[in-house]
Structure 1
């Protein structure tokens, strides 16, 4: 499958989803900075959480169009955070995309079983990030 150029996907995100709020849950400051900047360049509003508890606090305090969730987090990991997120009212349709360096099929199954909807392997490529975010923002619903 051909992945479109990052700039064209970025332009589509800017045009169709400008201002959409995304929660990025990532404990590595360098990874968080890179992904957040890419999302901001695409016109999205990005809130950052560096652990699972902070992510749950953010989710309880405001609505999001999408969550990008690191799997390996200190304390409450991304899998347990997603399970807890799914127990919050109004999050059943919120798309959650795993961000992880664990790129094996079993890891993908664990992410999906925990309630995540999709999976991006690190290091994240801009075109893949934009394509995945665009796919999940298209209709604002998971599943």
Structure 2
């Protein structure tokens, strides 16, 4: 089973992502902060990371860049209610994300994307 690291400080958001990962055939692990994500990735590198952009301990963009060294080629998806242009402005020189999932999203859309990513 392929593991997905969900970096989300909102309990409802983390629960929703965990359910979708499970439905897609993956195993979810939740980190509530960027620091927790670094520790989890170092202990057991994931196949995919879903990263909220606003975390209690800093920017998801900065944490995604720091995670890159621990996860090899695993893609990182940004997930945020922020405008995609705001994300690109912050990450233009060194984009750490393979995909952007805009909140709010439909479960069906994300489930389909997860199934492809975890295949």
Question: Same fold by TM (over 0.5)?
Answer: yes
Task: Give the alignment partner of residue 107 of structure 1, picking from 66, 87, 90.
Answer: 87
- Residue 49 in structure 1 maps to residue 31 in structure 2: yes
Higher strand share: 2
Structure 2 CA distance for partners of 1:72 and 1:115, relative to 1, 3 Å? same
Counterpart position of 1:98: 78
Structure 2 CA distance for partners of 1:71 and 1:65, relative to 1, 3 Å? same
Counterpart position of 1:137: 118
TM-score by length of 2: 0.86
Q: Which runs of 5+ in 1 are unaligned?
A: 1-18, 139-143
- Residue 125 in structure 1 maps to residue 106 in structure 2: yes
Query: How many residues are aligned here?
Result: 118
- Residue 73 in structure 1 maps to residue 55 in structure 2: yes
Is contact 2:2-2:26 (8 Å) kept?
yes
Is contact 2:49-2:75 (8 Å) kept?
yes
Is contact 1:51-1:77 (8 Å) kept?
no
Distance 2:45 2:102 in 1: 25
- Computed over aligned residues only, the root mean square deviation of the Cα atoms, in angstroms, reads 1.9
